[in-house]
Amino acid sequence: MTAENFRKRWTGQGTVWSVAMPLLMLCSGSVTAQFSGDENKNPRFAGSAPPAIIVPTDTRVRAELGKSLQLTCRALTSSSDKYSTIIYWLANQQFIEDLFQDGRVKEGKEEFLTDKGKTVIQKHLKFTKVTPEDFKTNFVCVVMSLTGSSEMSITLVRKISFSQIGRRR
């Protein structure tokens, strides 16, 4: 999601925009997320919980160099309204489309699901080919709603295949 897409998505949604803008500082194409726990709750919605990221469960994901990869971010939301929750990925504090202009890494579409009567939002991050630079990149899933926000940082860890082990000898 680019800064322009983010702005367009939330134009006319004054309440959400007033919540989202203090959380994100858009500075020359990069994003600094201001999240860290309970202070992400919006006091105007004290009775509702902020979104809770349930997938991934680990901050390190194994990836094989040169292979495709799909990361999934999934969060429980306290709202059934699709327009009150947003989910997106960042890479090194930049929107995915801005950092990977070649399209090698792309966000999928937002998906809304129901799990045991609760609303779940998810978005995939798709790599056509994992490169060495990806192992040095900090990927962050961000979920924001009127009730607060959550984020999870993911780093890729190099997975070694059996064929690579044989070549090392």
Q: Per-residue pLDDT tens for 68-120?
A: 999 999 999 987 677 789 999 999 999 999 999 999 999 999 999 887 778 89
Q: What domains appear along the chain, each with residue ranges and CATH number?
A: 3-159 (2.60.40.10)
Exposed/middle/buried for residue 2 (C-beta within 10 Å: 0-12, 13-18, 19+): middle
Please state, in angstroms and rounded to a whole number, the distance separating the CA atoms of residues 15 and 30: 23
Nearest to 24 by CA among 71, 100, 86, 99: 86
**For residue 40, what pLDDT is reported?**
55
Measured CA to CA in angstroms, residue 145 lies from 9, 29, 63, 82, 92 at distances of 13, 23, 31, 10, 22
Question: Per-residue pLDDT tens for 108-160?
Answer: 999 998 877 788 999 999 999 999 999 999 999 999 998 899 999 999 999 88
User: What is the reported pTM?
Assistant: 0.72
- Write phi, then psi, for 159 (nearest 5 degrees): -95, 125
